[in-house]
Chains A and B, each alone.
Chain A
Amino acid sequence: MATIPPHEDSRFGLRRQVRLTGPLRLDSGAMLGPVDIAYETYGAMNADRSNAILICHALTMDQYVASEHPVTGKPGWWWRLVGEGKPIDPARHFIVCANVIGSCLGSSGPASIDPATGEPYAMRFPVITIADMVRAQAMLLDHLGVDRLAAVIGGSMGGMQALTWPTLFPDRVESCIVIASTARHSAQNIAFHEVGRQAIMADPNWRGGDYYADGVTPGAGLAVARMAAHITYLSEAGLTEKFGRRLQGRNAKTFGFDADFQVESYLRHQGLSFVERFDANSYLYITRAMDYYDIAEDHGGSLARAFTASRARFCLVSFDTDWLYPTAESRVIVHALHASGAKASFVELSSPFGHDAFLLECPELNRVVDGFLKGGRA
């Protein structure tokens, strides 16, 4: 099958979707099957299949890492890092990015049809974990004929998947880049997610998750969840700089509860536009997966033990204004990697943008990722 040119092989290209029979045994013990995975590939596999890079996406991102989003029309979410002349370059790399299971852009999730009932799963979809997302990605790579990854890379929840990869598949990962992420969800992380979930479930339109039939979705709840989460993606200084206490389209306070302040208007907009592209139940499932995430817990309480079987090189990047997954979380990983003897690089980059920095303009990030990836070729 390696002899089929990529352009003639329907497995490769943009906007792909595959139905894998599975079943996939989930951490919960439940079986998921069939497993739909929506994905994109860029570039071509080289002859010795040594140039594959898997990109893992964050909570509300998707497979459109470097191509236009079909709903929003925006460019790929990581176009600054992925593309021609970029550190991850389809001219040199075979790039795969898949929508995580539990999500809502073509991969199996609560909005998918449950083959047992012919109805959408809704809350009957099994609870999934970050490790389950990774196992589904591995199934996809099997389907694509990718045995080994030159690199797996992700930011935020994508970083969690990237870091999980060498713990589950130590023989398949040569290098691992984890950006603005963590080895476990903290109490504060879980707390913010719980606020979001409660907002969704408190929306009368949620109806236990069974809202697909009439299309009346818990949009208000999901928007509030997004607003709360969005605050955690920004820095206090960034918010102050962007909005301060400036008023929105008016000269004075209205002594009412309209969006007087620019920051209110901005958050409302963030919430509303999110509802158009994301499924509320998926938000519940994916945040739950993140909250259950604790790599050390899965290895007898020792994070170092998780990496002992891996020979991968690791690169960790944090941002100084990220308070969602602060630098200390990356340091925990670095110390564990030292203890396990793994080759690790780590840098805290400076950015005013808080957690969102990994998605925004940061030439230093590009330099680090580029150098790290090329370092493997030396």
Chain B
Amino acid sequence: MSAPLRPDLALIARTVTVGARVLDVGCGEGALMAALRDAKQVDARGLEIDGGNVASAVGRGLSVVQGDADIDLAYYPDQSFDYAILSQTLQTTRRPDRVVEELLRIGKQAFVSFPNFAHWRGRLSLMWGGRMPVTRLLPDTWYDTLNIHHVTVDDFRALVKERGWAIDGQWFLKGDKETTHANANLFAEHAVFLLRK
């Protein structure tokens, strides 16, 4: 019925438990929500900033609300979901730290996935080219990217430590393959963390 899930979403979809209550923040057209609903009977709700995406998601029968993660998460009650999911959206928010705090308030656990800005390709681009990296995961030029808070795996780990959050799981991706934890900050293109407060 639909295209295969993006690798980080596929990984999250594998990990979510059957019948869970899930809030997908930045759900786009609802690909993950639909997969979770169909494969795992998940009660999925979505929050999405783009009206066209929301219309598509609602048009496929999903419960999606148009809103802004920086503002509208405040209106969800405490611990009302088993999982709050923020995939590829962290780096676009105005205050990523507060958004993760909100995810952990709303969800018992939170998935956070983001492109790793410290991947070696990006480093090379900066070091040798002296230019902001434009790669597969970061395809936009510096002036039209939605990513306003670039983050590395080590940056994120430092934030987790500083706030005293617990890491229940972490996965690293190179293309659509999982890669090792060792030197993830250098070799992972993409990171997925499962957090708990």
Q: Is the CB of B51 within 8 A of A334?
A: no
| Residues of B contacting A302 in the complex (Cβ-Cβ under 8 angstroms) | none
Whether a CB of chain B sits under 8 angstroms from the CB of A371 is yes
| Residues of A contacting B43 in the complex (Cβ-Cβ under 8 angstroms) | 343
| Residues of B contacting A71 in the complex (Cβ-Cβ under 8 angstroms) | none
| Residues of B contacting A341 in the complex (Cβ-Cβ under 8 angstroms) | 77, 80
Asked if A378 meets B65 with Cβ closer than 8 Å, knowing A347-B54, A349-B51, the reply is no
- In the bound complex, what is the Cα–Cα distance between A313 and B66 (angstroms)? 16
Cβ 8 A contact of A349, one of B55, B57, B61, B80 = B55
Q: Which residue of B lies closest to A342 (CB)?
A: B63
Q: How many chain B residues touch A (Cβ–Cβ < 8 Å)?
A: 23
Whether a CB of chain B sits under 8 angstroms from the CB of A15 is no
Distance in Å: Cβ of A7 to nearest Cβ of chain B: 32
Whether a CB of chain B sits under 8 angstroms from the CB of A350 is yes
Whether a CB of chain A sits under 8 angstroms from the CB of B19 is no
Asked if A378 meets B59 with Cβ closer than 8 Å, knowing A339-B75, A339-B77, the reply is no
Cβ 8 A contact of A368, one of B59, B63, B65, B75 = B59
| Residues of B contacting A338 in the complex (Cβ-Cβ under 8 angstroms) | 65, 75-77, 80
Q: Is the CB of A334 within 8 A of B65?
A: yes
Whether a CB of chain B sits under 8 angstroms from the CB of A375 is yes
Within 8 A of B (CB), among A323-356: 331, 334-335, 338-339, 341, 343-350
Q: Is the CB of B75 within 8 A of A344?
A: no
Cβ 8 A contact of B66, one of A343, A346, A372 = A346
| Residues of B contacting A376 in the complex (Cβ-Cβ under 8 angstroms) | 61
Whether a CB of chain B sits under 8 angstroms from the CB of A111 is no
Q: Is the CB of A347 within 8 A of B51?
A: yes
Asked if A364 meets B62 with Cβ closer than 8 Å, knowing A335-B75, A338-B75, A338-B76, the reply is no
Within 8 A of B (CB), among A354-375: 364, 367-368, 370-372, 374-375
Whether a CB of chain B sits under 8 angstroms from the CB of A224 is no
Contact with A along B41-65 (1 / 0, CB 8 A): 0010100000100111111111111
Whether a CB of chain A sits under 8 angstroms from the CB of B40 is no
| Residues of B contacting A346 in the complex (Cβ-Cβ under 8 angstroms) | 54, 64-67
- In the bound complex, what is the Cα–Cα distance between A339 and B59 (angstroms)? 24
Asked if A371 meets B61 with Cβ closer than 8 Å, knowing A346-B66, A347-B54, the reply is yes
- In the bound complex, what is the Cα–Cα distance between A349 and B55 (angstroms)? 8
Q: Is the CB of B55 within 8 A of A313?
A: no
- In the bound complex, what is the Cα–Cα distance between A315 and B65 (angstroms)? 9
| Residues of A contacting B37 in the complex (Cβ-Cβ under 8 angstroms) | 378
A-B contact list, 7 entries, CB within 8 Å: A313-B63, A335-B75, A338-B75, A341-B77, A347-B51, A374-B61, A375-B61
**Apart from A349-B51, A370-B59: 18 A-B pairs, beta carbons within 8 A:** A334-B65, A335-B72, A338-B75, A339-B75, A339-B77, A341-B80, A343-B45, A345-B63, A345-B64, A346-B64, A347-B64, A347-B66, A367-B55, A368-B59, A375-B58, A375-B60, A375-B62, A376-B61
